[in-house]
Amino acid sequence: MRDEMMSDVGISDSRQDASGHHIGHKVITESVTPSHEWSVCKDGLLGIFIFILLDLMFFVFVIMRSHTLKVRMLV
Q: How many Cα atoms are found within 13 Å in the side-chain-facing hemisphere of 38?
A: 3
What is the predicted pLDDT for the residue at 49? Answer: 93
Q: How far is CA 33 from the centre of its chain?
A: 11
The predicted structure's pLDDT at residue 27: 56
What does the domain layout of the chain look like in residue ranges?
A: 1-31, 32-75
pLDDT at 42: 80
Secondary element (H or E) of residue 15: strand 15-16
Give pLDDT, residue 15. Answer: 58
CA distances from 14 to 3, 25, 26 (A): 11, 5, 6
* Per-residue pLDDT at 53: 95
Q: What tens digit of pLDDT does each residue of 10-68 get?
A: 555 555 556 665 556 555 555 555 666 667 778 888 889 999 999 999 988 887 777 55
Closest of 34, 32, 31 to residue 11, by C-alpha: 31
